[in-house]
Structure 1
Amino acid sequence: MSTVIEQPVEARLVAAAPRMPNIPATLRYDRRDPFAVRMTFPAPATLEGVEVCWTFSRELLAAGLQGPEGHGDVRVRPYGYDRTVLEFHAPEGTAIVHVRSGEIRRFLEAAGDLVPVGLEHLQLDLDHDLAELMRDAC
């Protein structure tokens, strides 16, 4: 069984101009990091011209479908009939994208099939991780 789910999504970048260009993005879930979701934007879609990856909690993404969530670098909220807004805050500025809520729901359903919500801790190998930390401390 695969340990990773990757789903391409179409994001609409909200900019100062009235035109909202579509940009490809990828949502990624890896059972080896069971609490996290990654959203990656390709180099041509970023100001820096390099691929940008944001990591945030699966719980934040799911909760943001229902109402405004997040107080830090990533914030999620519903918008209109079938859109979800994701805000990415960095020292360089803020990027705001719209993604179809249905695409996010399908992604979260696939992630839930891989690792059910509430059972993420079963994917962690805490003994191994602690041994790695201790090895690096010596």
Structure 2
Amino acid sequence: MLRLVVSESSSLPVPAEAVYRVSDPYAVQMTFHTGAEETVQWVFSRELLTGGVRTPVGTGDVRVWPSMTGKGTVCIALSSPEGEALMQAPAGAFQAFLRATHKAVPPGTERKHVNVDAAFPDSPPPPVDSPQRKNNNA
């Protein structure tokens, strides 16, 4: 459960779900349930979220930082052509989720989990004389 900050003294609960897939090791997908049947999905860099737990990060549509009030909260500012939102997440739950992602795919090893052939299915096969092709025929 996250909180949507409406004003300095008011916020609303927003159910959210974070998903991490080993097959897409650089990203975290978050789905925010904004109404009975409505959801909004954002995809975040795992590295950005990890850094934002400790220090302010991000300069574009997504910014993440630890709360300066000491309430054990991580702040996530989202900006899009449709509007802006400031979300607050419990730091402990956020950190536990990120630790689980780091256990599944340790930072720095993401490239080992990317299947380039699946990511780019329409790419042509390597040339016949390429080392990759020779290894496949050996």
Provide the TM-score with structure 2 as the length reference. Answer: 0.81
CA distance in 2, matches of 1:67, 1:100: 15
Question: Of 120, 128, 133, which residue of structure 1 is paired with 2:122?
Answer: 133
Q: Which runs of 4+ in 1 moved over 6 A?
A: none
| Identity level (%) | 36
CA RMSD of aligned residues (A): 1.8
Which residue does 1:5 correspond to in 2? none
Structure 2, unpaired ranges of 5+: 125-138
2:49 equivalent to 1:61: yes
2:26/2:47 contact within 8 Å kept: yes
Which residue does 2:79 correspond to in 1? 89
What SS does the corresponding residue of 1:44 show, helix, strand or coil?
coil
Work out which of the two has the higher radius of gyration on C-alpha atoms and give 1 or 2. 2
| Per-residue deviation, 1:18 | 3.0
| Per-residue deviation, 1:71 | 1.1
Structure 1, unpaired ranges of 5+: 1-9
| Per-residue deviation, 1:50 | 2.5
- Aligned pairs, how many? 122
Which residue does 2:60 correspond to in 1? 72
Question: Of 12, 18, 24, which residue of structure 1 is paired with 2:15?
Answer: 24
Q: How does 1:103-114 map onto structure 2 within 5 Å?
A: 103-114=93-104
